Structure 1
Amino acid sequence: MPLEFAPANADALPLHVIEQAGLDGWTESQPKSVVTWVRANNFTGSIGQVLLIPGADGAPVAALVGYGKPETRARKRFVLAAAAEKLPEGAWHVASGLPRDVAETEALGWLMTGYAFDRYKSQTPAKAGLVAPEGVDRTRVETLAAAEALIRDLVNTPAQDMGPDALQAAAEALAAEFGASCTAVVGDDLLTHNFPMIHAVGRAAVRAPRLIELRWGEAGPKLTLVGKGVCFDTGGLDIKPASGMLLMKKDMGGAANVLGLARMIMALGLRVQLRVLIPAVENAVAGNAFRPGDILTSRKGLTVEINNTDAEGRLVLADALALADEEAPDMVISMATLTGAARVAVGPDLAPFYTDDEGAAQALAEAAAGAADPVWRMPFHAPYEDLIEPGIADLDNAPGGGMAGSITAALFLRRFVAARYMHFDIFSWQQANAPGRSKGGFGQGPRALLAALPRILNL
């Protein structure tokens, strides 16, 4: 089903959202037959419970969905989506019980139950439609859902069909939809245009490396988004074990997330000058692959000693960030599935971010809670700068010691940006099915950023 609300004039059945503590209060105003039915079916209002209320002919005339307790909801996201997956096909409208302050988030979760990645096999997503709840901005929520679906589709697509060329095609399709421009520097032209590290990382692959650039908007602050587009990461000559490659189709999750955020910005018409940069490569093994011990010269002129070819994401991002900074934008935001160390630090559910901008950090943290898009600030810890300085080059792409890996990666990237800067080290993968979040790729950070941008850029 399309990730859209049911028409406002749909013949929708009423849906009552019931907290456990509010069940008795709700039944007090109901006919005895309904009260008897509720008790006979042991409906308590716990999260995920659904009870259809039958009419005289046995067909449903309403439904109750459990909303649990506040302390239980605090441990979950998209609570209403747990019910949407169990309701029969048809249109429903919220008749009572849904708090206005969470209506947008819950409505988004409901829409996302309609997502299915069906490129290779037919799937059966939830089919219960929802009329946009009162006070919910229908256009905005549908825009968020469409962007999330784009992110998921890109990340879920295997590398055989999502190489650098396909990622470029996805950016071009997005640009065409919103009247943006999209260009790319491909293959050996990367050397001509001074993107040596993007070229070095991607030159061993059959599909040529490239730098993709999308531009949109002619007024307002300059916002540049940079997304890591490593479409598959073998680890290079420091090759990963087989188990380490199982999810490497998602190593372009940073690119997917910036494209999703760009889609939101363009669809909602934010007054910004948007620039999206995606270094798109495959980190492959071949005779011309870059090697441990090589010293690369970046676009910015900084030299980088390669101590691990599996730390390639920061190399391609560095050239793109240097390009971004040359235009002196008002804000640069990079997103990447960069380090396993970030997963160790905060797990898969939080999106860790780095910034020196206290106002931007506060705006993002406050926006994230309302967007059901949790983030966590990590430190640009200056004393660790010594760890990324190897002695025979300006920078080390993989300092030894096994500690502070996410921080040292972020410090490495910061060396290439003088503008206001924020970096996300995301996972972009849902490990098991959950309400509103099917197993597979998903967005981390774009909704929080969208909500925070008006404060960050004074829009």
Structure 2
Amino acid sequence: MHKSFTTGADAAVSVWLYTSDAFKSLENDPFPSARAIAKAQGFTGGAGQMALVPGTDGGVAHVLGGIGDGEDALAVAALSGKLPEGVYKVAADGGLSVASIAAGWADGAYRFDRYLKDKSSPPQLAIPEGDAGEALSAEADSIALLRDLVNTPAGDMTPAGIQDVVANLAEEFGAKLTAIVGDDLLEQNYPMVHAVGRAAAAAPRFLELEWGDTSKPQLALVGKGVTFDSGGLDIKPGSGMRIMKKDMGGSAHVIALARLVMATNLPVHLKLYVPTVENAISGDAFRPGDILSSRKGLTVEIDNTDAEGRLILADALTRASECDPDLLLDFATLTGAARVALGADLAPVYSDDDQLVADVLAGSAESGDPVWRMPMWDPYLADLKSPIADLVNSGGGFGGSITAALFLKQFVDAKSWAHFDVWAWRKGKYGRPEGAAACGLRAVWAMLQTRYR
């Protein structure tokens, strides 16, 4: 069971969730003096607001929680991020689903305490017993894993460290893991993964995990695993490098999704592909102007060594396509242009498959996890033409997220594919600390459950 959940609700403190409109129109107190206490504490139901009501023993007897307009399911995180240790149960849900409340609660209760002497002891939410509760716990555990991976500094989360995480999952769930490391990448035809990672002290590698019944639909997940991005010889400024430990956030997303698939026994044949490297600088670093070969056979002229994520993804998407998946999804912290367009919280999705996008957006609405469709505008492919190679790795000065998606598309040959250009990081909100965040994961998970259950 996830550490912020419990199935025991004995002596639990009641939590009353209200939207601003619902609390304003409240005609009767849900418990004695509720509205008077709320007024005294300035509680109006605004998103992230909280009012504590003491009991006769001096402890907390009731909690009023504000969820604003009810559109941001994670507003519940404001409560679990601030409440004292103890067990809490939802007495009024404010129109939110049990799954949304649990996701918000786990989100707020999360703390990255790997390097702290004092470990966190979060408040616990009473959730249902049985399969329903286990599913909520599996989702919370998987998202916590994602956040731990992204929050861990690059000195400890190396390509070998990512391999260790995937190996542990393979052992836990009876999956098969294949790892191709260092110069073996050249022998087994992953030339762009090797080129991007060869300058680092930590050897680059390609990880492939397989799980499940091969007679079931094949689900392929691909994630960018750049454990630290200096920008290479086109070096980033210090301010741009500061949080580049999160550049493996795409791999963290697909590792978390893979864990969810296996933990809940989703009836699929899972293939997980993680190319993982550090984009470092040394005498062996790949250079602007170099021309790289790819697994697919296309050649790529390097315009900018800081556009490295798409290179390793290209080899991985080619490999995934060779196995003829029914559905291919990739996650990557690929471009700053996506953040300019949609900000940090909204996950852009690119796909030519209208039905897949509709299903993802339905999952977004169900889960409260925001996703927005972006255009796969083929005319912009002209920005990726090179006079001396098949492609150039960095397009023109506009539409950078679109041209990155179009670059990846050249290496995909699958029945159905979608690309998510995520940020995997969030500034503090509702009292939560800044740090790693799941972006689009719950929307995709809702879609996968609807499609395959």
User: What is the TM-score with the length of structure 1 in the denominator?
Assistant: 0.91
Q: What amino acid is the match of 2:184?
A: D
Alignment of 1:138-149 (within 5 A): 138-149=133-144
Match of 2:379 in 1: 383
- 1:320-343: per-residue Cα shift (whole Å, max 9, x none)? 111111111111111111111111
Match of 1:392 among 388, 413, 416: 388
- 1:421-457: per-residue Cα shift (whole Å, max 9, x none)? 111111000122436x5311111122111111245x5
Q: 1:88 to 1:391 in 2, by over 3 A?
A: same
- 1:313-362: per-residue Cα shift (whole Å, max 9, x none)? 11111111111111111111111111111111111111111111110000
Asked if 1:244 corresponds to 2:235, the answer is no
Match of 2:191 in 1: 196
Match of 1:8 in 2: 8
Residue 165 of structure 1: SS of its match in structure 2? helix
Match of 2:52 in 1: 52
Match of 1:109 among 94, 97, 104: 104
Match of 1:312 among 308, 311, 314: 308
Alignment partners' CA distance in 2, 1:260 and 1:415: 26
Match of 1:215 among 210, 216, 228: 210
Asked if 1:408 corresponds to 2:403, the answer is yes
Alignment of 1:446-457 (within 5 A): 446-455=441-450, 457=451
Asked if 1:225 corresponds to 2:218, the answer is no
Alignment of 1:15-34 (within 5 A): 15-23=15-23, 28=28
Q: 1:300 to 1:431 in 2, by over 3 A?
A: same
Q: 1:276 to 1:231 in 2, by over 3 A?
A: same
Q: 1:310 to 1:137 in 2, by over 3 A?
A: same
CA contact (8 A) 2:147 2:436 kept: yes
- 1:139-192: per-residue Cα shift (whole Å, max 9, x none)? 221111111100100001111001111011111111111111112000000111
Aligned length: 451
Residue 113 of structure 1: SS of its match in structure 2? helix
Asked if 1:424 corresponds to 2:424, the answer is no
- What root-mean-square deviation, in Å, do the aligned CA atoms of Structure 1 and Structure 2 show? 2.4
Q: What amino acid is the match of 2:17?
A: V
Alignment partners' CA distance in 2, 1:225 and 1:246: 28
Q: 1:84 to 1:384 in 2, by over 3 A?
A: same
* Percent identity (aligned): 49
Match of 1:368 in 2: 364
Stretch of structure 1 that moved more, 22-31 or 260-269? 22-31
Match of 2:436 in 1: 441
Q: 1:393 to 1:49 in 2, by over 3 A?
A: closer
- Give 4+ residue runs of structure 1 displaced > 6 Å after superposition: 133-136
Q: What amino acid is the match of 1:211?
A: F
Alignment partners' CA distance in 2, 1:386 and 1:51: 57
Q: 1:4 to 1:190 in 2, by over 3 A?
A: same
Asked if 1:259 corresponds to 2:250, the answer is no
Match of 1:127 among 115, 122, 128: 122
Match of 1:206 in 2: 201
Alignment partners' CA distance in 1, 2:32 and 2:170: 58
Stretch of structure 1 that moved more, 235-244 or 271-280? 235-244
Q: Which runs of 5+ in 1 are unaligned?
A: none
Q: What amino acid is the match of 1:65?
A: G
Alignment partners' CA distance in 2, 1:348 and 1:19: 25
Q: CA deviation at 1:105?
A: 0.6
Residue 82 of structure 2: SS of its match in structure 1? coil
Q: What amino acid is the match of 2:15?
A: L
Alignment partners' CA distance in 1, 2:382 and 2:29: 69
Asked if 1:336 corresponds to 2:344, the answer is no
Match of 1:65 in 2: 65
